[in-house]
Structures are given as C-alpha cells and as structure tokens.
Structure 1
Amino acid sequence: MEKVSVFGAGSWGTALSYVLAQNGHDLLLWTHRKEQADEINQHTNKRYLKDVKLPESLKATSDLPQAVAHSCIFVLAVPTKAIREVCQEIKKNLDQKILFVHVSKGIEPDSLKRISEMIREEIPEQWIEDIVVLSGPSHAEEVVQEHPTTVTAACENTESAIRVQDLFMNQYFRVYTNTDVIGVEIGGALKNIIALAVGITDGLEFGDNAKAAIMTRGLAEIARLGVKMGATPLTFSGLTGVGDLIVTCTSVHSRNWRAGNMLGKGKSLDEVLQEMGMVVEGIRTTKAAYQLSKAYDVPMPITVALYSVLFENVSTDQAAGSLMGRTKKNEMEDLVDLL
C-alpha cells in the first residue's frame, strides 16, 4: 500500500482516485471547493460522475497543505491552465522529494511548454523525485464502471514508470510503460484538436468519410510535429497516439468532440463553453499547436483551419472548403518525413 495525494476532483481525477482506492492505497483527493470535498466524503461527485458510488476509503479535502503532507506521490489532475498555480501552492508546503504523476493533456499557449516542463519550472528540483506522464485512451465514465482500460506511464527513468504502473494497474485498468515522454505528451494534447475538428464535421453532417479523413490526416499532423520536437515515431501508433485519437474522436463522452459538434451545428464558441460547463482542453491547445507549427515550421492544415474557426471568426463551412481545396500532394511524403 502507498500513500497518494490526488490534486483535482474533476471527472478524471475522481476516476483515478477510484482506481487507487480500489487498489488499497491510502488516498486523499484535493479539491479547491469545500462543498465538493464534503460531497465526495459522502461518496458521490455528481457534477462530474453522475450516479457513481465512490469507495468509502476515498477521502477528500479542500485543505491543500493537508493533501501535500499526506504523501510523497502526487497525481496532478487539474486542467492545464491551473498547473502552474497549483504547483506554486504545493511548493510552499514541501519538505520532501515528490514523485509527480501528471494526467492532464495540453500545451501551454505562448510559452509552448509541455506539462512536465511546466512542473519543472514551478517546483524546485530539490523537491522532485521524478515526473511521470499517465496518458491513453480513457474515459472517466467507463473507468468507474470498471470497463477494461489501457493507458501508458511514460518517464525517461523506467523505474519510475514501473512504480506508477504498479500503483494503478489492476484487473480492469492495465498500464504499459514508455520512455518517450515528448511523444506521449504531444499525442495526448493534440488529439483533442483533432477531436474538435471531427466533432465539427459531424455537426455539419459530413458523414463517416470526412471523419476518417480528419482522423487519419490529423494523426499525420500530430506525428509530424511530435517527431520534429524529438518524439519517437512509433509512439504515435500506440495507445497515446492512435489509441487516444480513436476514443476521443468517436465517443459521446468526449468533451472535445461534443464542443466541436456544437460548433458544427452553428453555435458560437461562447455558447459552446457556456453550455459545456467544463474545461475543453482542445480549445486552448489549438492556439498552442498553431504557435508550435509556426515555431517548428511544420505544416498542420487541420490545426490552422480549426484555429481560424475558433479565433478568427471563419465559418466552419469556409474552413472545410479551405482544407479540401489545398494544393495536391503525395500521401507517402508524410510517412517518409517520419522515417
């Protein structure tokens, strides 16, 4: 049994807490809202996981110093935009080295930092034992129903990845290891952009042909950028590449797909965000990916088209037309670039 602190009580943070509690670990889940902590201690979190009974051993708190003091393993499950703020609060209370496990999927606009890089910038090196990325095709709603799920624990230090693998793995939650941190983080973040684009095509009622095209060409964009940033090409054919892309682009559980679907049906971005009521990571990540495509000189036409819809008031129909009317090219050029 290990002591573990989870920071962030949204759907994914709660689902992972469910797994950890079921695995017999001494788990404390932190939320910044006292009323939510009180509800979780009554074994529900209805806003995020309706009709789910949480294990009695799953305890919650809104006292951040208490969560920090509880363990030396921290699972960061807050949205990308909150990573720095939460890390800044955490470091005020540290007195030992911590194994950080981050489970969010995004890139910070402007700085263009991956989440592991953001953590290293905010937490002094003296307090970091290691940083592991836990990512893969995984809907919280299905994890708490104990449906079979597979994810990847990525760290350059294989021993740390195996430690996280042992922490989470059970009969319904299978964890693989990987040393390609860049590839796992890029794949997890950028698949949200493609899911937004697929949602738009579904909202426009373009059918399955268009969906398959966006997913396939979207994966090529993700891999092109990831390899240019130092990732291993094979990572994008694994769980955190094509696996995560499939689940996010094809499921009604996907926030990014649902947001894109509403955009395709003619709703404005403000209307979509108000109706969703939860963080849609792909919107923020689209801006960062657009900036990365410029910084690394990587052609990313789907990303550019989505950026124009989200931030330049281009209609979804116009953006679709611009993609279809691009200069002709050979499909194999992308594959050659990755070798």
Structure 2
Amino acid sequence: MYDCGRIAVIGGGSWATAIAKIVVGHTHHLGWYMRRDDRIEDFRRLGHNPAYLTSVRFNIDEIEFSSDINKIVQAYDTLIFVTPSPYLKNHLKKLKTRIKDKFVITAIKGIVPDENLVCSEYFHQVYDVPYENLACLGGPSHAEEVALERLSYLTVGCSDREKALAFSEILASEFIKTKISSDVIGIEYSSVLKNVYAIAAGVCSGLKYGDNFQSVLMSNAVQEMSRFLKTIHPIDRNITDSVYLGDLLVTGYSNFSRNRTFGTMIGKGYSIKSAQIEMEMIAEGYFGTKCMKEINRHCHVNMPILDAVYNILYERISPQIEIKLLTDSFR
C-alpha cells in the first residue's frame, strides 16, 4: 500500500479547515500553509481558525503552521491545495521548491484564470507533476457539514489506484465515507460547472421561480454537464454518481452554497460588485463561468445554462430577460 507520508494543507479557508480537521484526526500531525502571519498567531492563541469554521477546535501541538510555502513544501510529501482558484497562481509564484515528486491533491473547485486549465492540468503542464502524482477531491461536501461531523461522501480521483486508496483511507471515518475514481479531469470540470449551475439556481430563486422550475433547471444542468464531459474527456462514467450529480444538487439547493447565495443576490437586483462585497467569501462560479465560456468556444457544446449565466454576469443582460429566454428553451 502506498504511504502518503507527511501531509500538508495549502490554504486557510473553510474547506481547507474542514479537510485539515479530517486529516489531522487520522495522522495527528499536519503541515499548514497560511498566507497571513496574523491569522496563524490568532489560530495558535485561540485553538481554532479565527476567520472560518470558528467552532472547529484543533490541538495546536499537532500542527506546524507557516506563512512560508517553500518551508511547508520542502518538509511534506503530500500537498493538499485548497486555495481559491483565482489566487492559486499568486501562491505558486512564491514557490522555489520542485513539486514534481510530491503527491499533489487539489481540492480546488475552480479553473485557473487566464490559463483556462483545471488545477491538475495546470500542475502537470506548468510544474511537470506527472499524472500518477496528481489527485483531486470531489464532493458532495459543504465544509460546514463536514465540520459538524454530518455524514458526507467524498471521492478521491487519481490515475494511480494505490495512491487514491491510500488517501481515501486517511479521510475515512464514522462520518466520512470515501470512494475512488480514475476520472480526475471529469471530476474537476464537474466541480467547476456545478458552481455555475448553482449561480443559475440562485438567480432563479432571487427572481421568485419556485421549486418546480428549480427541478427542471437541475435536470437540464446535469444533461448539459454530461454533454460537456463527454466532449472534453470521453470516457465511460456514470453522471448520476454522487461526485457529479450529488455535488450538483447540494450546491444548487443548499443554503450553505456560496454560489447559490451569490446568484440569489444577483436575482434580487444586487450588482456584481455589491454581491461580492457583502458575501465576503469567493464565489468560485463567478470566475468559472468566464473560463468555461472561453473553453467552450473551442468545444462547441450546447450549453444554454452556461451561456445564460455568462450573459447575466459579464454582458450585464437583465436576469429577468435571460432566465425567461432560458425557460423557453427547456422542455
């Protein structure tokens, strides 16, 4: 069995905090890169993340914190990246240590802006990490519910089955069930798209569309997702698996979903800027929408929901008009 060795988390948000809690409960030691020294000092003093999931307590003696990404990368074998996708490049620009021999796991549900690459492809193309050393972590999983130890199911995607199994065993517990998959690219793209569709669901909620229509929206969204995945990465997959359909549903329906919340504010008439300021957290789907639109210009997949969200967010077309046009295209 593959040994994941010493494990580190790269990122300081809510999902990073939830993953850290799961991992350190198994390993009793964790490296943790956070960008801000003041956050690290507050964390050490309080025994919890001062900004996210503040009810989740940690044994500080089990954690090596550092604001120096090179120090953490040099000292640890498995690196779990959990930074918002728009900031990933800025964190990696500080990197002077080679990571091609590390086991790199991305729990980032977004695309690297400007590059229009899912994170595993970015690590492979820019940092020469071989595919067998790349993995992804898929949902459905809200950080808040994981922190509350509510039953959740996670999927580890990796082309190397032994590595996927080894990491899935570290995550598994009474409240975390795990499975493995070889579909890294499909899981990553579905994680991006479900955020886009959650924004659409939020917009419709803000516009007072009811549950009946939301179910039709989600039905069309999973079909749209399936069409895109078959085009971008044509392998045999079951789109109804929890890592695809389940993640879409929880992100589209849950009040914990920041992308749905963001969309709801837009549907209620907030400007993009005011919605982003009030949320105080990144809605990955805002950036993912633009990236996916640009990627699909080359793929030519029929994606009316993606187009509608793009038109609302980037072309400033009225949500009322755009969603009405979308409803007319559904059957």
TM-score by length of 2: 0.93
Is residue 112 from structure 1 mapped to residue 116 from structure 2 by the alignment? yes
Q: Report deviation, 1:129.
A: 6.2
Asked whether the 8 Å contact 1:109–1:291 carries over to 2, the reply is no
Asked whether the 8 Å contact 2:39–2:50 carries over to 1, the reply is no
Is residue 89 from structure 1 mapped to residue 88 from structure 2 by the alignment? no
Q: Report deviation, 1:110.
A: 4.7
Of 192, 200, 206, the match for 2:195: 192
Q: Report deviation, 1:236.
A: 2.1
> Deviations for 1:217-260, whole angstroms, at most 9, x for unmatched residues?
01111110011011435342112211101111111111101100
Of 54, 57, 61, the match for 1:53: 57
Q: Which whole-Å CA distance do the structure 1 matches of 2:298 and 2:250 have between them?
A: 29
Asked whether the 8 Å contact 1:17–1:58 carries over to 2, the reply is no
Match of 1:324 in 2: 327
Is residue 99 from structure 1 mapped to residue 103 from structure 2 by the alignment? yes
Asked whether the 8 Å contact 1:199–1:259 carries over to 2, the reply is yes
Is residue 70 from structure 1 mapped to residue 75 from structure 2 by the alignment? yes
How has the CA–CA distance of structure 1 residues 28 and 314 changed in structure 2, closer, same or farther, with 3 Å as cutoff? same
Q: Secondary structure at the match of 1:52?
A: coil
Asked whether the 8 Å contact 2:116–2:295 carries over to 1, the reply is yes
For these two proteins, the number of residue pairs brought into alignment is 326
Q: Which whole-Å CA distance do the structure 1 matches of 2:114 and 2:257 have between them?
A: 26
Q: Report deviation, 1:114.
A: 1.2
Of 202, 213, 217, the match for 1:214: 217
Q: Report deviation, 1:16.
A: 0.4
Is residue 34 from structure 1 mapped to residue 16 from structure 2 by the alignment? no
Q: Which whole-Å CA distance do the structure 1 matches of 2:148 and 2:327 have between them?
A: 41
* 5+ long unaligned stretches in structure 1: 332-339
Is residue 253 from structure 1 mapped to residue 256 from structure 2 by the alignment? yes
Matching residue's letter, 2:49:
N
Q: Which whole-Å CA distance do the structure 1 matches of 2:129 and 2:235 have between them?
A: 26
How has the CA–CA distance of structure 1 residues 95 and 205 changed in structure 2, closer, same or farther, with 3 Å as cutoff? closer
- 1:146-157 matches, cutoff 5 A: 146-157=149-160
Q: Which whole-Å CA distance do the structure 1 matches of 2:171 and 2:196 have between them?
A: 28
Is residue 202 from structure 1 mapped to residue 198 from structure 2 by the alignment? no
Q: Report deviation, 1:95.
A: 7.7
Match of 1:124 in 2: 128
Asked whether the 8 Å contact 2:132–2:160 carries over to 1, the reply is no
Q: Report deviation, 1:60.
A: 2.3
Q: Which whole-Å CA distance do the structure 2 matches of 1:324 and 1:189 have between them?
A: 23
> Deviations for 1:26-52, whole angstroms, at most 9, x for unmatched residues?
201111100111122231113221333
Q: Which whole-Å CA distance do the structure 1 matches of 2:150 and 2:234 have between them?
A: 30
Q: Which whole-Å CA distance do the structure 2 matches of 1:112 and 1:235 have between them?
A: 25
Q: Secondary structure at the match of 2:291?
A: helix
Asked whether the 8 Å contact 1:30–1:37 carries over to 2, the reply is no
Identity within the alignment, % = 28
Q: Secondary structure at the match of 2:134?
A: strand
Match of 1:304 in 2: 307
- 1:165-244 matches, cutoff 5 A: 165-232=168-235, 234-244=237-247
Q: Report deviation, 1:313.
A: 0.9
Q: Which whole-Å CA distance do the structure 1 matches of 2:222 and 2:179 have between them?
A: 21
Asked whether the 8 Å contact 1:87–1:123 carries over to 2, the reply is no
Name which of structure 1's ranges 76-85 and 306-315 shifts more when overlaid on structure 2: 76-85
Match of 2:278 in 1: 275
Matching residue's letter, 1:101:
I
Q: CA RMSD in A?
A: 1.9
Is residue 4 from structure 1 mapped to residue 7 from structure 2 by the alignment? yes
Q: Secondary structure at the match of 2:163?
A: helix
Name which of structure 1's ranges 158-167 and 231-240 shifts more when overlaid on structure 2: 231-240
